[in-house]
Amino acid sequence: MQKTMKAMVYYGENDLRFEDRPVPQILEPTDAIIKLTTTTICGTDLGIMKGKNPEIEATAKEKQGNFNGRILGHEGVGIVEEVGSAVKNFKKGDKVIISCVSRCGTCENCQKQLNAHCMNGGGWIMGYMIDGTQAEYVRTPFADTSLYHLPNNLAEDVAVLLSDALPTSHEIGVQYGDVQPGDTVAIVGAGPIGMAALLTAQLYSPSEIIVVDMDENRLQMALEMGATKVINSAKEEAIASILKMTNGRGVDCAIEAVGIPQTWDVCQHIVKEGGNIANVGVHGQAVSFALEKLWIKNLKITTGLVNANTTDMLLKTCCSGKLPLDKMITHYFKFNELEQAYKVFKNAADEKAMKVIINC
């Protein structure tokens, strides 16, 4: 194996560098080293770049006394290059999907399927607390419980969405939102997470799915992917429009898929009595919580990090062709074009970008 590799490294707010880094090594017997063949950029990566997660630097300084940068990325497909002595389910040469959540599988939280809060150093750590997948190689902790074999009949550019976007939207949006047959669902935000929620919500046969966004191109894409109605919140007031559509009652489930105060505010004002607000977006600042209006409505409000408990099921569903994830992919880049990929993804509205794929 080569000794150095190219990687996208975060050094601080708006300071990303595409540079040479040492190839990772096995640190624990449960580790695997994966040679990336496909990766992508997540909205969370942009949030980190913009300074939304200063704990990355603080934690590194606390542990090591300095901060030498963090390789971003938590989504990827690749080939197993090396495995630790305790890894039993994977071997060199296996093609795998890398989960964004690393889990030991044995701690109290993992036993409860609360893998996002693994107590043995797992959870969402890749591209956050440890180096991630926007590199030529990545070290994956707890390989036996955090990797998935890539089926031969599943394209890599679709499979990479199973690392994070699809299970996150399904579990934290659709499942936590308790979407049921006949329900009316509102998805506020038509980015990759909102679109993945749109696709997976249809597995539960809601009667209506209303998608809200300010980008006309994304709203048209939402209609093509199964939305029954769309609202351009740059042109009309979203709360009033949804209440009018639902005869003043509101929706059964509102999925917040952005992570800003404005989208949260829409969600908390459009849910009817007994309904659900499922917050999926990553929030970096406080929001107003209209408890004086909500307390009487018998609502359920949920938040969370993906546990990747449904990745296996979604993998099979993708192989069956019932989830047209390829419609979410708008741009392809080579690995040495990763800086350009970030520029496109940062200017998604102008570039008409949804999900960008980087082929290593």
> Containing H/E element for 71?
strand 70-71
pLDDT of 284 reads 85
> What does the angle CA 337 – CA 342 – CA 343 come to, to the nearest 5 degrees?
95
pLDDT of 52 reads 87
**Ranges assigned E (strand) in 13-57:** 15-22, 32-40
First and final CA of the chain: distance in angstroms? 16
> What does the angle CA 279 – CA 308 – CA 143 come to, to the nearest 5 degrees?
145
Q: Which amino acid is at 358?
A: I
Neighbours of 290 (CB within 10 A): 11
Radius of gyration of the chain (CA): 20
**Domain limits of the chain?**
4-164+307-359, 168-302
Answer yes or no: CATH 3.40.50.1220 is held by domain 4-164+307-359.
no
d(CA 172, CA 187): 13
Question: 269: buried, middle or exposed (CB in 10 Å: 19+, 13-18, 0-12)?
Answer: middle
Q: Which amino acid is at 217?
A: N
> Containing H/E element for 10?
strand 4-12
Block residue for tokens 């080579």? 334
Block residue for tokens 């300084």? 61
Q: Which of 21, 16, 104, 4 is nearest to 56 (CA)?
A: 16
Residues 6+ away with beta carbon under 8 Å from 281: 189, 193, 256, 257, 258, 259, 260, 263, 264
Protein fold of 168-302: Rossmann fold (3.40.50)
As a residue count, the chain comes to 360
Residues 6+ away with beta carbon under 8 Å from 157: 38, 326, 329, 332, 357, 359
Q: Which of 182, 231, 232 is nearest to 208 (CA)?
A: 182
Full pLDDT tens readout for the chain, 360 residues: 789 999 999 999 999 999 999 999 999 999 999 999 999 999 999 999 998 899 999 888 888 788 999 999 999 999 999 999 999 999 999 999 999 999 999 999 999 999 999 999 999 999 999 999 999 999 999 999 999 999 999 999 999 999 999 999 999 999 999 999 999 999 999 999 999 999 999 999 999 999 999 999 999 999 999 999 999 999 999 999 999 999 999 999 999 999 999 999 999 999 999 999 999 999 988 999 999 999 999 999 999 999 999 999 999 999 998 898 999 999 999 999 999 999 999 999 999 999 999 998
Neighbours of 232 (CB within 10 A): 15
d(CA 64, CA 325): 41
Task: Give pLDDT tens digits for 122-163.
Answer: 999 999 999 999 999 999 999 999 999 999 999 999 999 999
d(CA 68, CA 76): 23
Q: Which of 31, 47, 34, 44 is nearest to 5 (CA)?
A: 34
Question: 356: buried, middle or exposed (CB in 10 Å: 19+, 13-18, 0-12)?
Answer: buried
What is the sign of the dihedral through the CA atoms of 32, 35, 38 and 44?
A: positive
